[in-house]
Structure 1
Amino acid sequence: MPLPSKRRTVRGLRRLLVLLPLLGGCQRPDAAPGAHVTLRQIEPPRVQVQRDVVARDARGCLLPAPSVPKAPPPPFPLSGTLGLWVAEVDPVTLEPLRAVATNPDSVFPLASTYKQAVLWATLRAFDAGTLRPTERFDVARDNQSLGSYPFDGSNVRTLTERMIRNSDNTATDILHRRVGLQAVQDVADSLGLCHTRLILPTRDWWVAQAGLSGTFNGTSRWAGARGPERLRLATLIDADARAYRADYLQRKLDEYFDHRYDPALDLRTHNITTPYEFGTLVAHEFLRSGLSPRAQRWQRDVMALGYGKSALKVTHRQGLRAFGGKGGNGWRLLTYSGYLHTRDDRHVVYVFMQRGADQTYTMPNTRRAFAWINAAMQVVLGPPGPGAAARTGTP
Structure 2
Amino acid sequence: MPFAASSLLRAALAGLILAGLLPGSARAEASTPLLPPEPPTCTEAPDPALTLGFSSTPGRPLPADVTGRVDFYAAVYGENGQALRDVRLGDVDALHPLASAFKPLVVQAALQDVDAGRLTLNTLLETTPGRRSIEGYPAGKNSVEKLGRRALVNSDNTASDILHLAAGTERVARAVHAASPCTSVLHTTKALWGTQSGLLPNVLRPGRDAAAYAAAPFEDRLPTSLALNRAAQGLMGPQVEAALDVYFHGPTYDPALELAVQNVSTPRAYAGLLARTLPGAALGRATRGLFRAWLSDSCCKPKAPTLKTGFWGAKAGSGWRLLTLTGVVELPGGQTLAYAYLNDRSDTLESEDMERQIPALVRWLDGTLADLARGR
Tell me the TM-score normalized by structure 1. 0.78
For residues 359 and 155 of structure 1, the distance between their equivalents in structure 2, rounded to whole angstroms, comes to 37
Q: Paired residue for 2:321? A: 332
* Corresponding residue SS for 2:134: coil
* Corresponding residue SS for 1:162: helix
Give the deviation of 1:288 after TM superposition.
Answer: 6.8
Cα deviation, 1:152-189, whole Å, max 9, x if unaligned, reads: 11100000000001000000000001111122223422
Q: Paired residue for 1:239? A: 230
1:310 and 2:302 correspond? yes
For residues 58 and 174 of structure 2, the distance between their equivalents in structure 1, rounded to whole angstroms, comes to 30
1:272 and 2:271 correspond? no
Tell whether the 8 Å contact from 1:120 to 1:187 is kept in structure 2 after alignment. Answer: no
Q: Paired residue for 1:224? A: 215
Aligned-CA RMSD value: 2.6
Q: Paired residue for 1:367? A: 359
Give the deviation of 1:73 after TM superposition.
Answer: 5.0
Give the deviation of 1:75 after TM superposition.
Answer: 3.8
Give the deviation of 1:346 after TM superposition.
Answer: 4.4
Tell whether the 8 Å contact from 1:104 to 1:276 is kept in structure 2 after alignment. Answer: yes
1:322 and 2:311 correspond? yes
Question: Quick one: which of 184, 191, 194 aligns to 1:197?
Answer: 184
For residues 375 and 129 of structure 2, the distance between their equivalents in structure 1, rounded to whole angstroms, comes to 53
Show the 5 A alignment for 1:13-32: none
Distance 1:127 1:308, change over 3 A: same
Q: Paired residue for 2:3? A: 3
Tell whether the 8 Å contact from 2:74 to 2:369 is kept in structure 1 after alignment. Answer: yes
Tell me the TM-score normalized by structure 2. 0.81
Comparing 168-177 and 372-381, the one that deviates more: 372-381
1:63 and 2:54 correspond? no
Q: Paired residue for 1:81? A: 69
Q: Paired residue for 1:57? A: none
Cα deviation, 1:34-71, whole Å, max 9, x if unaligned, reads: xxxxxxxxxxxxxxxxxxxxxxxxxxx72154212233
Q: Paired residue for 1:99? A: 86
For residues 197 and 158 of structure 1, the distance between their equivalents in structure 2, rounded to whole angstroms, comes to 26
Cα deviation, 1:185-205, whole Å, max 9, x if unaligned, reads: 2342222x2221112000111
Tell whether the 8 Å contact from 2:104 to 2:278 is kept in structure 1 after alignment. Answer: no
1:252 and 2:209 correspond? no
For residues 111 and 339 of structure 1, the distance between their equivalents in structure 2, rounded to whole angstroms, comes to 18
Q: Paired residue for 2:108? A: 120
Give the deviation of 1:138 after TM superposition.
Answer: 1.7
Tell whether the 8 Å contact from 2:73 to 2:86 is kept in structure 1 after alignment. Answer: yes
* Corresponding residue SS for 1:117: helix
Tell whether the 8 Å contact from 1:318 to 1:343 is kept in structure 2 after alignment. Answer: no
For residues 301 and 143 of structure 1, the distance between their equivalents in structure 2, rounded to whole angstroms, comes to 26
Structure 2, unmatched stretches of 5+, are: 13-42, 50-54
Provide the aligned length of Structure 1 versus Structure 2: 332
Cα deviation, 1:282-318, whole Å, max 9, x if unaligned, reads: 110135732222222222122112112335x6x2x34
For residues 288 and 165 of structure 1, the distance between their equivalents in structure 2, rounded to whole angstroms, comes to 16
Show the 5 A alignment for 1:136-215: 136-191=124-179, 193-214=180-201, 215=203
Tell whether the 8 Å contact from 2:73 to 2:340 is kept in structure 1 after alignment. Answer: yes
